[in-house]
Amino acid sequence: MDRLATDMHAACQSIHPSCRVLTVHGTLDEFVPVEDAMEFAKYIPNHKLQIVEVADHEYTSHQEELASIVLDFVMASLYTDKCVHKTSLSGSKTDKFIDSRL
């Protein structure tokens, strides 16, 4: 799909409201302006926008931060309303209550 030919407003509105969406965007992305991500966030329901300071399009120096953001989003989506024992990427252990839709 050609990004420049896509009606992003319509594409955002076609996402089902119950579909959880995570957008991770770097402030130094040289291909897609961070303002685009902020604009999409206005139209996507059930959306979380995470801006990574000084990350480029490929998250060259931010791989661990990106992995942590995605893992936290997935874990929160999978485990809610259950007590889960979780080890963070930094190695610290936490017990946390999270609501479940399962």
pTM exceeding the 0.75 threshold for the entire prediction: no
Q: Say if residues 97 and 83 touch (Cβ distance below 8 Å).
A: yes
pLDDT at residue number 54: 97
pLDDT at residue number 67: 97
Residue 74 confidence class, pLDDT cut points 50, 70, 90: very high
Whichever domain contains 39, its CATH number is 3.40.50.1820
What does the block give as tokens for 26? 């770097």
Count the domains in the chain: 1
What's the DSSP call for residue 52?
A: E
Domain range enclosing 59:
3-99
Give tens-digit pLDDT for 4-55.
677 888 888 899 988 999 999 999 999 999 999 999 899 998 899 999 999 9
pLDDT at residue number 2: 57
pLDDT at residue number 7: 87
| Distances in whole angstroms, Cα of residue 40 to Cα of each of 29, 33, 54 | 16, 11, 20
pLDDT at residue number 83: 44
Pairing of strands 21-26, 47-52: parallel
Give the list of residues 6+ apart from residue 87 with CB closer than 8 angstroms, or none. Answer: 93, 94
Q: Given a cut of 60, is residue 88 above it in pLDDT?
A: no
Q: Angle at Cα 22 formed by Cα 89 and Cα 39, nearest 5°?
A: 135
